Amino acid sequence: MASINKLLNTIKSAVYGVDIRKAIHDAILQCYIDATQSIDVNKEIEEAKAPYTTLKEKIESMTGISDDIKLYAKIYTPTTQNQIITKGQYLAGDQTILGDANLKGENIVKGKTIFGVDGTADLTSEVEADEKIIWTGAYANQAVQVARSYWDARVSGKVAFAYNGGHSIFEGLLTNSDGKYYFDCSTFLLLVIFLGIDFYHSPFYLISEGSNLTIDPTTIVARNDYPWAFDRGNVRYAADIAEYFYKQGRVIPITEVMPGDITCHAATYEDGSYHIKNRFMHISHVGIVAEEKYIQRDSEGKVTYFEYYNVTSVNNVIIRTQSTSRTDIVFVVRPDYRPRVDVSEVNSNINLMPLTYKSCEINSSVTINNMTFKVNSDGSITTSKQPTAGTTFYISSKSYPIYLKKGTYKLTGCPKRSDTTTGKTWGLVIKKKDGTDVAWDLGNGATFTITQDFADIYIYIYISKVKDSTGYKFTPKLIRTA
């Protein structure tokens, strides 16, 4: 048979169909004969891999593949950064990319995605008993007192606020064109739980009135009166406050709220869309749970109702809201108000006296029955003149009592005078809301015990008309001793 080259030329030059078909046939046949008769395929493979058992071993031994492009066995552990195997490398060993059986939605916080797995874990779910986030007792109640000082000031008409969401003293804005003080919920919570600033130490107190006033935000710093107050850092808006505590793992079941806990809300419009769309979990509002008096529990101790102090756009601005009146609470967090040392509620450094005196505000004076009471910046009260009738200066009142837990307490702060050793003509007094005497400090202090879980009490100074009060100073203090 002709050579393959001749057959190809025949195909190329043939004119008639029968000649073309024959030429193609002959060419294919010749290719087959040449391949099977002239070449031993198995022998070629044997020679190619010799002296190695497999072609793979032979290729791996070739000096033509340099070590710098060989990729030997390696294990890759996932990190926060991508790990790239660049092209142009020869795999000289197994490349292992680790997996993890815990890569499941229930192990990832809801709202986050890791390697394509959406998180479903909700931190508001119940936790085991040994993982409960403790309530910090008297320290939390201190924070509530600080919060309530703004409520008391608003209720008594001492200040006029104007709601201005997201724009207030921390942006350097103090008053609006009507001379009202700018306020919003995050400003309120920052002043209270982060900085420990009550109303009487806030920028809203004793500042010259006027419209469109400004303030230097750097002058607003934490007070050192409370061990739990510290600098706010970069926290500013409601969502920032919520995220700060959420990421600390401070979320608690709403059925276990206590005074001082923080409510976090995601408000929506009628169509279901969120007021805040670009912040943490759409949080738009925060508040602080009020005193134990405003918390109700069922027979199993689960909270069914509570109230919280917050700042809103309603006319009164600072209000105490019922939990049942809003359905937008996403979760509740519990700040750790404890100092780094001594977390006991039994602490002589914790003064349980209200921050707001009912009869007169700090740095002011009031005359009652011809007698003058001057309230100093440190909370002490100096008196002068003899009253024309039995006179009462209310620190707290029946309408606004304070609440004491079961325990032993000591009342001090009444100045001692030689003509008063017994009786009720001079002293610092604690009574229950129903008017029953709890304790009288006549100058030597008074220790008493609260036997019920929570007691509504109020505190006042009493001076009878036969006592000249000139030159005396009261320094009211109430501590828990056991």
* Contact residues for 424 (Cβ-Cβ < 8 A; gap 6+): 440, 462
Dihedral of CA atoms 69, 73, 78, 80 in degrees, nearest 10, equals -30
Measured CA to CA, the distance from residue 379 to residue 474 in angstroms comes to 9
What is the value of pTM for the model shown?
0.53
Question: Which pLDDT tens digit goes with each residue over 137-146?
Answer: 889 999 999 9
Once rounded to an integer, what is the mean pLDDT over residues 279-288?
Answer: 93
Q: Where are the domains of the chain?
A: 4-39, 55-97, 135-333, 364-480
* Contact residues for 300 (Cβ-Cβ < 8 A; gap 6+): none
Task: Give the DSSP H or E segment for 306.
Answer: strand 303-311
Measured CA to CA, the distance from residue 245 to residue 186 in angstroms comes to 14
Question: Which pLDDT tens digit goes with each residue over 30-88?
Answer: 666 666 665 565 666 676 666 777 766 666 665 556 666 778 888 887 877 788 888 87
Class of the CATH-defined domain 364-480? mainly beta
In residues, how long is the chain?
482
Residue with tokens 């593949």: 65
Question: Which pLDDT tens digit goes with each residue over 156-197?
Answer: 888 899 999 888 999 999 999 999 999 999 999 999 999 999
Measured CA to CA, the distance from residue 270 to residue 268 in angstroms comes to 7
Q: What percent of the chain has pLDDT over 90?
A: 45
Q: Are 439 and 446 in contact (CB under 8 A)?
A: yes
Measured CA to CA, the distance from residue 436 to residue 434 in angstroms comes to 6
Q: What percent of the chain has pLDDT over 70?
A: 82
Measured CA to CA, the distance from residue 373 to residue 369 in angstroms comes to 11
Find, among 168, 172, 170, 167, the residue nearest to 214 by Cα. Answer: 172
DSSP string, 230-295: ---TT--SHHHHHHHHHTTT-EE-GGG--TT-EEEE--B-TTS-BS--SSGGG--EEEEE--GGGE
Residue 5: pLDDT band by 50, 70, 90 thresholds?
low
Q: Quick one: pLDDT at residue 23?
A: 67
Measured CA to CA, the distance from residue 408 to residue 310 in angstroms comes to 32
Question: Which pLDDT tens digit goes with each residue over 393-419?
Answer: 999 888 777 878 889 999 999 999 999
Q: Quick one: pLDDT at residue 78?
A: 81
Other residues' Cβ atoms within 10 Å of the Cβ of residue 187: 25
Q: State residue 101 phi and psi, 5-degree precision.
A: -65, -20
Give, in order, the Cα–Cα distances in Å from 180 to each of 175, 185, 240, 475. Answer: 5, 16, 26, 33
Other residues' Cβ atoms within 10 Å of the Cβ of residue 324: 10
* Contact residues for 159 (Cβ-Cβ < 8 A; gap 6+): 153, 181, 199, 204, 205
Q: Quick one: pLDDT at residue 371?
A: 96
Question: Which pLDDT tens digit goes with each residue over 78-119?
Answer: 877 788 888 878 788 888 888 887 788 777 766 677 887 877
Summary mean pLDDT of the chain? 84
Task: Spell 428-452 as b/e; 16+ CB within 10 A means b.
Answer: bbbbbeeeeebbbbbbeebebebee
Both tokens of 207, joined, read 């500042």
Q: Quick one: pLDDT at residue 396?
A: 87
